[in-house]
Amino acid sequence: MVLFAAAATVACVGLAAGCTSPRNTLGTNSSQCFRAIPVATDAVEDRGTLVGARLESVSSLHQRLDALLDARAPTVKTVCVVAFRGQFRIDQVKRPYGPAPATGSGRFAIVVVSVPRNQLVGTVVLAQAPLPLRHTVLGPLQHHPAPAGGTGPHGYVA
């Protein structure tokens, strides 16, 4: 009986190790962005609440974030886009990009971090909530571009 209990224990431990060791991440394509969260948190100077992070190729980015990469990191092909909710002014974030919202502050900060180098590319402050990060963060602007220097129909800064 003792031998059976010992064998069952070894089998359970072996099965548990086999199930967890090769899958120690969430299994999403955004797992690489866990390294970007401390960089992004520093970029917003520990303000706000983390909303989420998403791994994106440069070709799938919204035009404003694509312009940010063209200006600051033209050779980067993949980035982590990290979103925070709170109150943000352009002068309160590191490496701000684009104009401030019309009110002077925004409720959201979108931080772009290069992959795999994990370096801050820039921070965009938005007046309104972006889409959930399981989709493209700045998706509505792809269909309803804002006028130059203004905000779009959803309050996003162009």
For 130-139, letters b (16+ CB in 10 Å) and e give beebeebbbe
Q: How does the average pLDDT of the chain come out, rounded?
A: 73
In tens, the pLDDT along 13-29 reads 444 444 434 444 444 55
The length of the chain in residues reads 158
Q: Mind listing the pLDDT tens digit for each residue in 95-125?
A: 999 888 999 999 999 999 999 999 999 999 9
pTM of the model: 0.66
pLDDT score, position 12: 42
Pairing of strands 78-89, 105-115: antiparallel
DSSP codes joined into one string, 88-120? EEGGGSSSB-SPPPTTSEEEEEEEEEEETT--E
Range list of H helices, the chain: 2-20, 36-43, 63-72, 139-143
Angstrom distance (rounded) from CA 154 to CA 43: 25
